[in-house]
């Protein structure tokens, strides 16, 4: 029988026995956990101790790290003192909405006269613009604070200055060649890459500003916990790198969230079935349960729903807004699945040769702008190549708007810069981006991106990549190992959850779930048995009798009984190298 197995490339981290042995002897770590830590770039005992316990790291003050932070605080102090109207311009993703809610809470706590606006995903697209600036002016605003946007909005910022407004930009996106003429700019990308603050998301920058401002006014009491909770949700939902100060603050925040002070987070956690008995949440609880319900609103509905959810003290409003987040998230899931299936059919029908192009570019009418980024991620998982996906704007079909997702060896932001003269608005970073352009430029952009992909990617890169920490045997898997691994949380970008491999594993039983979408397995190696799950693997059913597997270790709890479950990410023939 011919079996259909995933077409993947497995990349193993090189073993480093001299360093791992030293860590085992000095710190009492298991050899497996020592190897995982070395794979994350820590090699000295001091680095490893700081990684395991970030609280011991000597953290520089943000006032010395961010050159414009003292100036920003002085501007805000004066605005609060004079009761000037302050307006926050946020963004419609989870980072932008949590940032907006964080600064609203912080500034209201400090007695500021503050309101907010968030650009419409459908009408405005990303970032502050001249229309919003003019509306702020008409409303009597004196000071604009951008959160999670603004660094690329030169024209809008210049217009604000022409109208006599002050403006502070807080953002974390990559820097344009010319910075906008703001009164102050807070962006970790202006700091050295070695700074512990370099990896902050937009909500991290907002958190730094709110906390240091409150400290300067002697009004920090009763504020830190709720701000840290919002920082935690926004940072993980935005897929920010979980390194530097993010690692330290997230470890604190994940312990706070099970007993959140924020009514909306409590209600949303209940609806998302996040266990209230947990002593701490993990990044998956936010990344797969809370974050998507917040993000869904920004994708498909009015961000005001989330802002109210995260700032209200009214129980009824919190419940109503949490239920809206839940319902819209269900719509988002259905829409994503539908568009993904349509995209796959289109790729097959048009016989799009993504192997030859070394990237995938797909445009179609009537796809919802709000979810095509999620579809791009799904297509990247499926095909293992950079994905650019777009749709025509409803109100102006001559404009195509889209999203991009990249593989490890491909920089999405540089690819978009390579098309700078052909694009309208664009932005993003190495792994993801957004763009718009006149539809007449489609053939030229396709050719330009193909050139960039051929300069950047070798043909062998064009398979989904699985980076494996180390090979282990089933007999070595136990709760002690799982607890050691869990102590290294939070997992995420630049601190990826460990992936293991095991060879010549027997597929004892296998069946599809009731929905027919996922594959449930019982696997055996050397008489040791584990239940396993492979998400969205229906097309690989059935697996051959014996396989090599790549997987994550998960704790599964059912009716009070805990067990270890394998989450299967890869499978290949036993004799492959």
The string of DSSP codes covering 223-269 is: THHHHHHHHHHHHHHTT----HHHHHHHHHHHHHGGG-S-HHHHHHH
pLDDT tens series, the chain, 577 aa: 788 999 899 999 999 999 999 999 999 999 999 999 999 998 889 889 989 899 998 899 999 999 999 999 999 999 999 999 999 999 888 999 999 999 999 999 999 999 999 887 666 667 899 999 999 999 999 999 999 999 989 999 999 999 999 999 999 988 888 999 999 999 999 999 999 999 999 999 999 999 999 999 999 999 999 999 999 999 988 878 888 999 999 999 998 988 898 999 999 988 887 765 555 577 777 877 888 899 888 888 889 999 999 999 999 999 999 999 999 999 999 999 999 999 999 998 888 888 899 999 999 998 988 899 999 999 998 999 999 999 998 878 899 999 999 998 999 999 999 999 999 888 877 888 999 999 999 999 999 999 999 999 999 898 889 999 999 999 999 999 999 998 898 888 888 999 999 999 999 999 999 999 999 999 999 999 999 999 999 999 999 999 999 999 998 877 778 899 999 999 999 865 4
| pTM: predicted TM-score of the whole model, two decimal places | 0.85
Distance (Å, whole) CA 6 – CA 183: 53
d(CA 262, CA 253): 13
Phi-psi region of 482 (alpha: psi -120 to 50; beta: other; left: phi over 0): alpha
Pairing of strands 465-468, 432-438: unpaired
DSSP bridge partners of 272: none
Distance of alpha carbon 40 from alpha carbon 43, whole angstroms: 9
Q: What is the DSSP string of 293-333?
A: HHHHHHHHS-THHHHHHHH---HHHHHHHHHHHHHHHHHHH
The whole-angstrom separation of Cα 86 and Cα 559 is: 51
Q: How wide is the angle at C-alpha 225 spanned by C-alphas 221 and 230, nearest 5°? A: 130
Residue 101 in tokens: 């809610």
* CB-count exposure of residue 61 (10 Å: 0-12, 13-18, 19+): exposed
Which residues share a beta bridge with 561?
Answer: 558
What distance in Å separates the CA atoms of residue 133 and residue 114, rounded to the nearest whole number?
15
Token pair belonging to 21? 């042995």
């Amino acid at each position: 029988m011919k079996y259909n197995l995933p077409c993947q490339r497995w990349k193993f981290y090189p073993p480093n026995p001299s360093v791992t042995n030293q860590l085992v002897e000095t710190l009492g770590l298991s050899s497996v956990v020592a190897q995982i830590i070395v794979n994350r770039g820590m090699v000295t005992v001091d680095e490893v101790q700081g990684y395991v316990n970030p609280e011991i790291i000597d953290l520089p003050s943000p006032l010395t790290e961010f050159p414009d932070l003292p100036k920003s605080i002085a501007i805000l102090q004066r605005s609060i003192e004079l009761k000037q109207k302050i307006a926050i311009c946020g963004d419609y993703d989870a980072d932008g909405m949590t940032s907006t809610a964080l600064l609203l809470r912080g500034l209201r706590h400090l007695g500021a006269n503050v309101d907010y606006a968030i650009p419409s995903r459908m009408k405005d697209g990303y970032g502050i613009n001249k229309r919003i600036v003019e509306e702020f002016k008409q409303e009597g605003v004196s000071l604009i604070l951008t959160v999670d946007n603004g660094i690329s909005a030169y024209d809008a910022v210049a217009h604000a200055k022409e109208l006599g407004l002050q403006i502070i930009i807080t953002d974390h996106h990559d820097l344009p060649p010319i910075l906008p003429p703001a009164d102050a700019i807070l962006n970790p990308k202006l700091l050295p890459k070695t700074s512990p603050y370099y990896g902050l998301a937009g909500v991290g920058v907002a958190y730094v500003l709110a906390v240091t401002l409150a400290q300067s006014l002697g009004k920090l009491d009763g504020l830190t916990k709720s701000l840290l909770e919002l920082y935690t949700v926004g940072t993980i939902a935005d897929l920010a790198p979980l390194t530097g100060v993010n690692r330290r603050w997230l470890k604190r925040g994940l312990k706070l969230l099970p007993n959140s002070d924020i009514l909306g987070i409590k209600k949303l956690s209940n609806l998302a079935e996040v266990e209230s008995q947990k002593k701490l949440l993990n990044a998956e609880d936010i990344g797969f349960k809370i974050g998507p319900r917040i993000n869904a609103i920004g994708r498909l509905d009015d961000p005001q729903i989330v802002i109210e959810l995260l700032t209200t003290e009214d129980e009824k409003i919190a419940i109503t807004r949490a239920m809206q987040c839940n319902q819209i998230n269900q719509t988002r899931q259905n829409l994503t699945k539908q568009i993904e299936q349509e995209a796959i059919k289109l790729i097959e029908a048009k016989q799009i040769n993504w192997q030859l192009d070394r990237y995938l570019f797909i445009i179609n009418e009537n796809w919802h702008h709000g979810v095509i980024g999620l579809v791009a991620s799904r297509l990247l998982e499926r095909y293992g190549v950079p994905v650019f996906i777009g749709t025509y704007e409803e109100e102006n079909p001559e404009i195509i708007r889209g999203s991009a997702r990249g593989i490890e060896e491909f920089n999405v932001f540089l690819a978009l810069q390579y098309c700078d003269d052909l694009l309208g608005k664009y932005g993003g970073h190495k792994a993801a981006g957004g763009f718009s352009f006149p539809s007449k430029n489609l053939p030229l952009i396709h050719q330009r991106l193909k050139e960039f992909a051929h300069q950047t990617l070798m043909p062998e890169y064009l398979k989904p990549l699985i980076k494996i920490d180390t090979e282990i045997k089933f007999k070595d898997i136990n709760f002690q190992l799982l607890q050691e691994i869990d102590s290294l949380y939070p997992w995420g970008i630049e601190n990826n959850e460990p992936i293991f491999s095991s060879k010549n594993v027997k597929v004892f039983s296998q069946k599809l779930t009731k929905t027919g979408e996922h594959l449930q397995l019982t696997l055996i190696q050397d008489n040791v048995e584990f239940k396993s799950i492979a998400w969205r693997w229906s097309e690989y059913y059935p697996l051959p009798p014996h396989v090599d597997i790549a997987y994550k270790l998960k704790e599964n709890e059912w009716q009070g009984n805990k067990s270890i479950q394998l989450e299967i990410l890869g499978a290949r023939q036993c004799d492959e190298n």
